[in-house]
Amino acid sequence: MGRFGVRLMMCDECERILLDWTSAPTNDARASSVSLLTLAESHTQSCPECASRSADLARLHAALDQLRDSTSQMEAPAQVETNLLAAFRQSTTRNASFIGINLGKLL
């Protein structure tokens, strides 16, 4: 994959950065990895698989944010988030959409 002469980010690396960033507990933690995130985002722009994975991850976190808003309980959603991220990490790019499809059940 990839074009010559461009700093290519591996898909694994991109995925790890996206996961680390979206699961960072505070804005400060997120800010510290913004430059990495920029690299990851430029990777997703040229890699359809990572783009789709990134979109799944964004959906997952949007759903978790809604859950937090609706429950106003931090602990239960935090556990759900941990479980979801664990499931997401174990999923391959090919079945990443499984998480999105089953998000309602998992929540």
Please report, as ranges, the residues that interact with Zn ion according to CB under 5 A: 11, 47, 50
Nearest approach, Cβ of residue 50 and Zn ion (Å):
3
Nearer of residues 45 and 66 to Zn ion, judged by Cβ: 45
CA distance 28 to 30: 5
Nearest approach, Cβ of residue 10 and Zn ion (Å):
7
Nearest approach, Cβ of residue 60 and Zn ion (Å):
18
Nearer of residues 50 and 84 to Zn ion, judged by Cβ: 50
Nearer of residues 80 and 93 to Zn ion, judged by Cβ: 93
Nearer of residues 58 and 76 to Zn ion, judged by Cβ: 58
Nearest approach, Cβ of residue 12 and Zn ion (Å):
8
- Please state the three-class secondary structure of 4-61 as a single string: CCCCCCCHHHHHHHHHHHHCCCCHHHHHHCHHHHHHHHHHHHHCHHHHHHHHHHHHHH
- Convert 2-35 to b/e letters by CB count within 10 Å (16 or more is b): eeeeeeebebeebbebbbebbbeeeeeeeeeeee
